[in-house]
Amino acid sequence: NASRGALFLTDVDRLSPASQQVVMRLLRLRRHRRIAIVASTSVDLRPLVSAGTFNGELFANLSSLRLQIPSLRERAQDIPLLTHQFLQAEATRQVRAVPSLDPGFLAAVNDYTWPGNLDQLRCAIGWMLEHREGPLGAADLHAAIAEVRAEVESAETPVRMVPLDHVVR
């Protein structure tokens, strides 16, 4: 049904002013149609609103219900399970066997702070399975973290806005 839908905005803090205006128009349209908008960010938007780099009206609309999800480093007990799940999923995606792990691997995974949270862990595991053979060790993890960080820092990924009617079609 074209009158219902959901929009998920990841890293909403990175939206350009023009994109923020498009989202505001969508929010106004939402009053006439049932459109759910969910946004995520890893930064506090209030200083951005105060600095004038984030639309205050958009912030007010998006912050009507806020969920604070603890960072991965705050959920250290989940890291081994998540690591094994991501290894399995990535191995299945790459159609290869799940590699064995050297004894120091899980200790290294647990010791890292994971500032990029689940995405960083998932990307690091994907990189290791794509670029390493044999058992995975702490050195493989450190190489993956450095490589993923370099890819993120060098990537210029502007937010691309697509007209809503194209998405609906």
Q: What is the pLDDT of residues 54-84, one digit of tens each?
A: 999 999 988 877 777 788 888 989 999 999 9
Torsion of CA 30, 31, 36, 38, to 10 degrees: 80
- Burial pattern 84-107, b for ≥16 Cβ within 10 A else e, equals eebbeebeeeeeeeebebbeebbe
pLDDT attached to residue 90? 94
% of the chain residues with pLDDT over 70: 83
pLDDT attached to residue 53? 93
Please provide the distance, in angstroms rounded to a whole number, between the alpha carbons at the two ends of the chain.
Answer: 11
Q: Mind listing the pLDDT tens digit for each residue in 94-124?
A: 999 999 999 899 999 999 999 888 889 999 9
pLDDT attached to residue 1? 42
pLDDT attached to residue 117? 85
pLDDT attached to residue 9? 87
Q: Whole-model pTM above 0.95?
A: no
Q: Mind listing the pLDDT tens digit for each residue in 34-56?
A: 777 888 888 889 999 999 999 99
pLDDT attached to residue 41? 87
- Section 148-153 average pLDDT: 68
Tokens of 104: 């120091």
Q: Confidence band (pLDDT; 50, 70, 90) for 4?
A: low
Estimate the crossing angle of helix 79-93 against helix 103-111, to 10 degrees.
Answer: 110
164 vs 132, which has greater pLDDT? 132
For residue 91, pLDDT beyond 80 = yes
For residue 158, pLDDT beyond 60 = no
For residue 129, pLDDT beyond 90 = yes
